[in-house]
Chains A and B, each alone.
Chain A
Amino acid sequence: MVGAGIGVLSWIAFLTAAHPLGITSAYERTAAAILAPLGLASDYLAQEQLVLGWEWALVVGVFLGALVSALWSSDREPSTVPPMWAARFGDSRPKRLAAAFAGGALMLFGARLADGCTSGHAISGNLQLAVSSWAFTAVFAAVSVAVALALFGRKGRRHV
């Protein structure tokens, strides 16, 4: 049902904004807005306009929507080390946060290189039957499953 809701939301985005649902260009624009005053974004600004637009507002909305939804259903989880991580790597906060930072950096760098993420490629691109999006999805699905199995092990062999 949640999937169908996201599908319908795609129709609304295409109809009202002529824009697919996507998340990561907002990260890119924010990074550029921070780097521009430092003079580090000149390549970028020659190609792209520094506009915090529809997609940026969308990302702010995702945060607010999740916040309201979590409060509404008493489903807030103000945790630092998720249980599955702790079971495998211990409950050290610095270790988990370092991994989260590195993982986030690698993920967003990859998303910008590929020009999209789980939303922009794997949902919005795939639903338009874009070859680039299906190819990206195949690559990241294979790599993420392989890395997750290496990190967390198979279900049958996990003893916790």
Chain B
Amino acid sequence: MFEPLPRMLGGLLIGVAFGVLLQKGQVAKHRVIVQQLTLERWTVAKIMATAIVVGGLGIYALLPSGAVALHIKPLLVGGVVLGGVAFGAGLALLGYCPGTTVAACGEGRRDAWVGLLGGLAGAGVFVVAHDAWAAVQRWGGSHGELTLPQVTGAPWWVWLIGLGALIAAAALWGRRRSPRAAERGARRPFPSHF
């Protein structure tokens, strides 16, 4: 039922670091997630984009050495599209994503605990009729473990450095707007110390 102890401990330690980062990054807070979704505050997008660029540069740079391998999820059209719709609607209603739900439980948020129970129920619905849902996942076809470099022919560093440049440009643009943003912030209903 469990994997060997050293591997479990490794997972636990990486999880602890992940939990500290999520909590310190403010993304275990309902208002931070919801204000991202209403496009008022860009904390979540900044963290995700930075993680993608830093993580991706490291993984692709290590790839030729054989120290790491890619773990690409197959493109199942029905699963990705219908799953994305259900996930997006549920995310807006709950106000935490699956990982930040767990981190929000660590912060003591009771609604996150109930969201976690709801999550187990939702995963249960998938488990109970696993074969039927597997057929739904394949609606529209299964296109294998595709990557953007394979599909477009542009190498990995073009994608990752391009995304990095986009983040830098957005950060500069945000800074130029910041006097106005600060003025708006003063009238914001939920100041950051709330």
Q: Chain A's nearest CB lies how many Å from the CB of B118?
A: 3
Residues of B within 8 A of A114 (CB): 79-80, 82-84, 87
| Cross-chain contact B147 with A131 (CB below 8 angstroms) | yes
Q: Count the B residues whose beta carbon is within 8 Å of the partner chain — how many?
A: 129
Of A3, A53, A67, which one neighbours B47 at CB under 8 angstroms?
A3
Residues of B within 8 A of A151 (CB): 92-93
Of B19, B84, B94, which one neighbours A61 at CB under 8 angstroms?
B19
| Cross-chain contact B102 with A63 (CB below 8 angstroms) | yes
| Cross-chain contact A118 with B84 (CB below 8 angstroms) | no
Which size class do A's interface residues fall under? 35 or more
| Cross-chain contact B122 with A106 (CB below 8 angstroms) | yes
| Cross-chain contact B48 with A136 (CB below 8 angstroms) | no
A138 to B110, CA, bound (A): 30
Tell me which residues from 112 to 159 in chain B have a Cβ below 8 Å from any Cβ of chain A: 112, 114-134, 136-137, 143, 145-149, 151, 156, 159
Closest-by-CB residue of A relative to B9 is: A57
A20 to B143, CA, bound (A): 21
Q: Does B177 contact A (CB under 8 A)?
A: no
Tell me which residues from 95 to 118 in chain A have a Cβ below 8 Å from any Cβ of chain B: 96-97, 99-118
A86 to B74, CA, bound (A): 40
Residues of A within 8 A of B148 (CB): 129-131, 134
A18 to B22, CA, bound (A): 22
Residues of A within 8 A of B156 (CB): 129
What sequence of 0s and 1s flags, for each residue 21-40 of chain A, a beta carbon within 8 Å of any chain B beta carbon? 10110011011111100001
| Cross-chain contact A66 with B102 (CB below 8 angstroms) | yes
Given contacts A66-B105, A83-B194, A61 and B18 within 8 Å (CB-CB)? yes
| Cross-chain contact A57 with B8 (CB below 8 angstroms) | yes
Q: Does B168 contact A (CB under 8 A)?
A: no
Residues of B within 8 A of A10 (CB): 51, 55, 58-59
Given contacts A15-B62, A44-B127, A112-B126, A119 and B15 within 8 Å (CB-CB)? no
Residues of A within 8 A of B3 (CB): 51-54, 57
Residues of B within 8 A of A154 (CB): 38
Q: Does B174 contact A (CB under 8 A)?
A: no
Q: Does B16 contact A (CB under 8 A)?
A: yes
What sequence of 0s and 1s flags, for each residue 143-187 of chain B, a beta carbon within 8 Å of any chain A beta carbon? 101111101000010011000000000000000000000001000
A17 to B107, CA, bound (A): 28
Interface residues, chain A, with chain B CB atoms under 8 Å away: 2-21, 23-24, 27-28, 30-35, 40-41, 43-44, 47-48, 50-70, 73, 75-85, 87, 96-97, 99-149, 151-155, 158, 160
Interface residues, chain B, with chain A CB atoms under 8 Å away: 1-3, 7-25, 27-31, 34-35, 37-40, 46-59, 62, 67-76, 78-95, 97-112, 114-134, 136-137, 143, 145-149, 151, 156, 159-160, 184, 189-190, 194
